[in-house]
Amino acid sequence: MNGWHGKLLRVDLTNQKTSVEEIDPQIAKDYLGGRGWAIRYLYDEVDPLVDPFAPENKLIFATGPLTATSAPTGNRYMVVTKSPLTGAVAHSNSGGDFPTWLKRTGFDMIIFEGKAEKPVYLWVNEDEVEIRSAEHLWGKDVPTTTDTLLAETSKKAKVACIGPAGENLVLMAAIMNDKDRAAARSGVGAVMGSKNLKGVVAYGRKNPAFADDKKMRELSLTIAKEVGADMLAGSSLRIYGTAYVPQVTNAMGIFPTRNWQTGTFEGVDTIDGPTLTENYLIKPKPCYRCPIACGRLTEVKDGPYKGKGEGPEYETISAFGGACAVDDMEAILKANYWCNELGLDTISAGMTIAAAMEMYEKGYIPEDDIGQPLRFGDKDAMIEMVQKMAYREGFGNELAEGSYRLADKYGHPEIAVTTRKQEFPGYDPRGSQGMGLLFATSNKGASHMEGDVAYEEVFSTPVKDDPLTTEGKGELVKRFQDAFALIDSSGLCVFLAVRYVFSKDRMIWPVRLSQLMEYTTGTPYTPEEVLKAADRVYNLERLFLLKAGSTVDTLPPRMLNEPLPEGPAKGRVNELDKMLPEFYAERGWDENGWPTKEKLAELGLE
């Protein structure tokens, strides 16, 4: 094989054994890699009804054929498992440096199964694979764990690990790599913790070979120059990272504010990109060999919120800023740093605290249960709840279950803004209709990373789509879902799609990606074939989801019944019922959202 190593490492944690397996070339071709390979193995080997914390659930680290190549942004990996937060499939993506080092071990994928009797970590140094004790690391935060593992293995290696949140089975626990990068959503870190797996350390020099080295490098260089020129020409993404977005969504009236009670936050000017860049930015921090450099290395130099690390990104600002009504960037930075150090998904953590704030203010949660007031805008209480959540201390034990379970326990599930029990990212679907359809139909619960149609509805990339209309949104969402499945499976970053995500009549991205795949792997992919593979991946995830019992595509009551009270989308709710039939038809599913026999036959999924 080229591009692919064609090997997976299977780690039996129960019996402390490892084995190497060859990957079927037909599976390699049909599912591309990364997210595609991982869902194929998860579907084949895990009962969708399994308890996510049972030893029978499996945790899969998967790279793509373009991971660790010269392809721009070719430095991503996926973590795939059954989610404890949603009860459905989880596929979380991360960058940094770790994915390239993981691929260079000579393995495309690692499958963890069973459960270790005591805490362990995995050390992979190419063909030398060891399961080592991590008892001395249990309870340690992410930076301490990372530094210790590098000292015990190799300073040249890279680490992915969990913090206290993962150990304590917090349902929104993340897997952190390179200290500040996160495979964050759906509780993948909790599954890792349930297996007593503290970390994975990777090192190797086995760079994948290209089928056509000259053409691969030439095309990669062309794309890198084009994207780099865009960034250097004044791209907001290069200047501010994703922190430029609050002003955009706030102007549209879709910036989540006070737990989605409105879409306009009066304090947005103090928590935006210019504020972050002018006062706290040390420098942009790219993933390995990335021409975009959207990451932000930041620091609060003194005061009660003193700290240093990477972030925050837009989603963190929307969750801890607008949703919690906190207009202090230093407090948001501190909450972000704590999430990274303790191993928490900033979206679910912040949105869960926001839901608790609304319930407290409405008298649904007694102050005695929390142990203190918890009001919107109380930045110190917010930061304290982040820590309590990670350790399941006091009221943090309730927050650790996520906003849906929290609100349901107190008799007000309508307060939770979730799909499949996963908290919304920062786009209000009442003023962005396609995002509502995306959240409702996402296989992993509400997620912008499963087909972010905000590119067109919010950012006009590559074309503008009216965010308030429902017409054509079935085709739009299906197209973006397939694009993201394709990107996740290839090993690239979706931010490359800032330039190349395709509109209905613009096929630049599938053409370029099919060429990269062909020059790398030697498989003669066409644009139609890679898109069909993405469709196959999405439908297989859908089958896992349905068999897990998650059969209803809907949005929370607030999005369907409570009109936005202000802003450009004032008076609007999400009109999901108008969009679902078109979406199901575009997907080749029946009126209940089940793939038809004809669709499964078309994709080879009979």
- CATH fold of 237-411: 1.10.569
Side-chain half-sphere exposure of 171, counting CA atoms within 13 A? 23
The mean-pLDDT minimum among 209-213, 252-256, 291-295 falls in 291-295
**Residues 6 or more apart whose Cβ sits within 8 Å of residue 444:** 83, 86, 88, 89, 90, 91, 185, 186, 420, 422, 450, 541
CA dihedral 46, 52, 55, 57 (to 10 degrees): 20
* Predicted confidence (pLDDT) at residue 508 exceeds the cutoff of 80: no
Show the tokens assigned to 1.
Answer: 């094989």
pLDDT (average), residues 569-579:
98
* Residue 604 burial (CB count, 10 A): 10
SS3 125: strand
Distance (Å, whole) CA 466 – CA 264: 19
pLDDT band at 532 (very low <50, low <70, confident <90, very high): very high
pLDDT band at 1 (very low <50, low <70, confident <90, very high): confident
* Predicted confidence (pLDDT) at residue 280 exceeds the cutoff of 70: yes
At 588 the pLDDT is 97
At 246 the pLDDT is 97
Distance (Å, whole) CA 405 – CA 390: 16
Q: How far is CA 463 from the centre of its chain?
A: 24
Strand partners, 197: 120
Distance (Å, whole) CA 311 – CA 272: 12
pLDDT band at 156 (very low <50, low <70, confident <90, very high): very high
The mean-pLDDT minimum among 238-247, 349-358, 547-556 falls in 238-247
pLDDT one-digit tens code per residue, 121-137? 999 999 999 999 999 99
pLDDT band at 291 (very low <50, low <70, confident <90, very high): confident
At 366 the pLDDT is 97
563 or 225: which leads in pLDDT: 563
* Predicted confidence (pLDDT) at residue 499 exceeds the cutoff of 70: no
Q: Where are the domains of the chain?
A: 7-203, 237-411, 433-603
pLDDT band at 498 (very low <50, low <70, confident <90, very high): low
Cβ-count burial 495-532 (b if 16+ within 10 Å, e if not): bbbbbbbbbeeeeebbebbbbbbbbbbbbebebebbbb
Distance (Å, whole) CA 147 – CA 18: 25
Residues of the chain with pLDDT > 70, as a percent, come to 98
pLDDT one-digit tens code per residue, 51-109? 999 999 999 999 999 999 999 899 999 999 999 999 999 999 999 999 999 999 999 99
pLDDT band at 500 (very low <50, low <70, confident <90, very high): low
Distance (Å, whole) CA 267 – CA 284: 25
Q: Class of the 433-603 domain?
A: mainly alpha
pLDDT one-digit tens code per residue, 23-60? 999 999 999 999 999 999 999 999 999 999 999 999 99
Tell me whether strands 77-82 and 128-133 are parallel, antiparallel or unpaired: unpaired
Distance (Å, whole) CA 606 – CA 147: 48
- Verify cis geometry, omega within 30 degrees of 0, for the bond prior to 286: no
Show the tokens assigned to 411.
Answer: 């008799």
H or E segment and range at residue 471: none
pLDDT one-digit tens code per residue, 456-496? 999 987 788 999 999 999 999 999 999 899 999 999 998 87
Q: Are 326 and 300 in contact (CB under 8 A)?
A: no
CA 473, 474, 477: angle at the middle one, nearest 5?
A: 75
Distance (Å, whole) CA 459 – CA 453: 9
* Predicted confidence (pLDDT) at residue 337 exceeds the cutoff of 60: yes
At 507 the pLDDT is 59
Distance (Å, whole) CA 432 – CA 440: 13
At 235 the pLDDT is 76
* Predicted confidence (pLDDT) at residue 229 exceeds the cutoff of 90: no
pLDDT band at 209 (very low <50, low <70, confident <90, very high): confident
- Verify cis geometry, omega within 30 degrees of 0, for the bond prior to 208: no
pLDDT (average), residues 249-266:
98
- pTM, two decimals, is 0.97
Q: CATH code for 7-203?
A: 3.60.9.10
The mean-pLDDT minimum among 1-5, 301-305, 518-522 falls in 1-5
At 293 the pLDDT is 87
pLDDT (average), residues 335-342:
98
